[in-house]
Amino acid sequence: MFVEPDIVPDKLEDRINYKVILLIIFVTMSFQGSIFLLQSDDDRNEVISIVSIINPMAAAIFGFITAKRYGYSMTFGKAYLALGAGFLCAGIAECIYLIYDLVLQIDPYPSIADVFFFGLYPFILAYLIMSIKFFKPKTTIKEFFWMPVITMAIISTYITLSFEQLQEANFDFYYGIIFAVLPALVLPFAILGAMTFKGGVIGTSWLILVFSIIALTTGDVWYYYLEIFDGYDLLHPVNVFWYAGYWIIVYALYKHGKSI
């Protein structure tokens, strides 16, 4: 049975290879561009939908593997279990989105898929809080100030842009705010994590993971803004944030798991 050490080791067995990260970004951008080479919209939608399911599911699997290696009862075991559960929610949401969009031919916004997309954020937030608390037990007064400022700035910007687009406070306006609030809450903790996990090789692994979470949440805010005026489709470049974000997470979890 794995027992979590009192002190997390300072070094990983292997350093993060930034060429791999650049390759992931290049491949995801190339994939997004190559989709336009497919002849029919149906083919494009099917390929993108399948990939959109595989991405979070792969991240979920690696999250659960990492949690198992730490031991589920330990601090990091619980943290990575929460992370894996969050990505699993996202994968389930993508499955439901595909069924609505391609099988039932029903607009998936809004739908039950949003419940599972919603579920991603509490789990990510739990992961960030547990991990940050391990390395940084106390929060400074300065952090208490800038963290809510970032949250309010994101929400205020979203509300302003949305109202300018809709010209009224209708269902889409309020519904979008709900999903803008969630990543707005997560982003300050992700930034704090990026500041906390700097230094040391093991910190690099956590840092990359946190920046990937920032990419995912940025993509989500952009998506819900696009849905206000029906500006999103499966070929939109916002998808690159999700593609690259999930696979960089997979790589970071893989490298982190090898250090345990």
Does 80 map to a domain? yes
The confidence score (pLDDT) of residue 198 equals 63
Does 3 map to a domain? no
CB–CB of 65/256 below 8 Å? no
Does 7 map to a domain? no
Does 145 map to a domain? yes
Name the residue range of residue 220's domain: 18-259
Q: In this predicted model, which residue has the larger pLDDT, 7 or 55?
A: 55
> What confidence tens digit (pLDDT) does each residue in 35-66 have?
888 878 888 888 998 999 999 999 999 999 99
CB–CB of 239/50 below 8 Å? no
Does 5 map to a domain? no
Measure the CA angle with vertex 212, ends 74 and 95; round to 5°: 85
Q: What total of structural domains would you count in the chain?
A: 1
Cis peptide before 108 (omega within 30 of 0): no
Does 4 map to a domain? no
Does an H or E element contain 101, and which? none
Does 206 map to a domain? yes
Does 8 map to a domain? no
> What confidence tens digit (pLDDT) does each residue in 22-33 have?
999 999 999 988
